[in-house]
Amino acid sequence: MNKKWMYAMGAACMLAACRPAAEKGNGTLNVIDVAGAYEQQTELKVSDLGRHVRYVPLETTDSCLVGNNPKIMVLEKQLVVLTNQTAYCFDKESGRFLNAIGHTGEDPRGYSTNEPAYNPRNGLFYFVRYPDQLQRYDAQGRYQGKVKIETPPNLPTSFAFLDTLIVGHYNNLAQMNKHNRALGFFTESGLLTDTIESILPPLPPMDISDIASISVIRLGIAQAIFSQFKDGSRSFSIHGGTSLWEEDGRMRFKEPFNDTIYNVSMADGLTPWAVFSIEKYGLEPKARWSGEELDGKLLPVFMLENQRAVFFQCMEGMKKTLNGIYDKQAGTTRMCDEEKGLTDDVNHFLPFRPSACSAQGEYAQLVEAADVLDFLDENPEAKDNSALAPLLKMGEEDNPVVVLVY
């Protein structure tokens, strides 16, 4: 794919990001008006994302105890809860525990991280196994072999699927990349077939031995990573944000520090779909990697999308996080402080804090049992709300409940 085309398109989109929403031209490029929404913040509501809310308490047994800081994936028929040691699969309708899916470890079937990519075309989960493999499991927990990804360079940091190809995103954490790739396209056997270069200018590559210190700041769902190098230079990178996702059969891609969301295809490469219009709140070029002069600046880092809306989070400097919702039909953008969550104007439950979205368009959140019980104690009238009936039998030691908005 043509590198010059990529840079030309990137420059065009970065210019578009400086235009107000009213000037989006022929309407082919969606403009997410972050600057305007930031200056006129307003309450965000559950009904901005969907009309219905469903609660699925997860079965609690000794075989499926969910620990601290779990993550959720929502499939067509299953709910998958990711923990530090394994992934637990539950029935989406009843919450009944079905099975575990693999485990972390160094044995031949173990994986290194608990953030798999799911391929709906073959029904398999792909877990990263360093330094160069993806471990494959089906939803029933059966091991389906490994994919050995062609390296060097190092393994991509996240994966998705386009037709028959595995797509990997190379997130340049702490300037460890010895190349300037953004995306790599691999066959199911792990062979590299194509690449797309990053629009961002290349940085001097570093080694682990060059790092003097690292600090991590969690802001919303993503993390800001600051690396101090022994030569006195610094690096600012984002971990846990969104880079690759699928909506209505189209693959989307957003590179950290680039304000444009692209459609990805083998025929056309990257085609701009939307741009975050940040205007004066955008990062200066040197701040895009050094982390300098971040005060008052906005950086979109996390996105979820369904047919109706794009939910996103922006870091405001290194002080706080903002939630935002872009209504795809109306073309409007609204934002508010992330700590407030989304007001539940449907069932009047706890504020909604989405962390995942299914291919079927369901936004999802895990809510701990203790938070449910505290809410019921503080709002005794909620026990008469039939919509909240699934929550009334929860105990203090139970697994979380999955909240689905659609």
Q: What does the domain layout of the chain look like in residue ranges?
A: 3-198+211-405
Helix (H) or strand (E) holding 9: helix 3-16
Helix (H) or strand (E) holding 275: strand 269-277
pLDDT at 244: 98
Q: Measuring CA to CA, which residue among 248, 240, 263, 279 is closest to residue 32?
A: 279
pLDDT at 26: 43
pLDDT at 4 over 60: no
Specify whether the CB–CB gap between 206 and 235 falls below 8 A.
Answer: yes
272-326 tens-digit pLDDT: 999 999 999 999 877 777 778 889 999 999 999 999 999 999 999 988 999 999 9
Give the confidence band of 343 by pLDDT, cuts at 50, 70, 90: very high
Distance from C-alpha of 255 to C-alpha of 260, rounded to nearest angstrom: 8
pLDDT at 285: 73
Bridge partners, 229 (sequence order): 211
The length of the chain is: 406
pLDDT at 15: 38
C-beta neighbour count of 91 within 10 angstroms: 15
Give me the mean pLDDT over the 47-75 stretch.
Answer: 97
Bridge partners, 234 (sequence order): 228
Specify whether the CB–CB gap between 102 and 143 falls below 8 A.
Answer: yes
Instruction: Give long-range contacts, CB 8 A cutoff, 24+ apart: 201-209.
Output: 203/172, 203/175, 203/177, 203/235, 203/289, 204/175, 204/233, 205/175, 205/176, 205/177, 205/178, 206/174, 206/175, 206/176, 206/235, 207/176, 208/176
Q: Against a cut of 0.85, is the pTM above it?
A: yes
pLDDT at 1: 53
pLDDT at 117 over 70: yes
pLDDT at 105 over 50: yes
Give the confidence band of 172 by pLDDT, cuts at 50, 70, 90: confident
Give me the mean pLDDT over the 21-38 stretch.
Answer: 73
CA angle 77, 140, 142 (to 5 degrees): 150
pLDDT at 247 over 90: yes
Specify whether the CB–CB gap between 261 and 303 falls below 8 A.
Answer: yes
User: Could you name the CATH architecture of 3-198+211-405?
Assistant: 7 Propeller (2.130)
Distance from C-alpha of 202 to C-alpha of 177, rounded to nearest angstrom: 9
State the Rg of the chain over Cα. 21
Lowest mean pLDDT among 92-101, 123-132, 236-245: 236-245
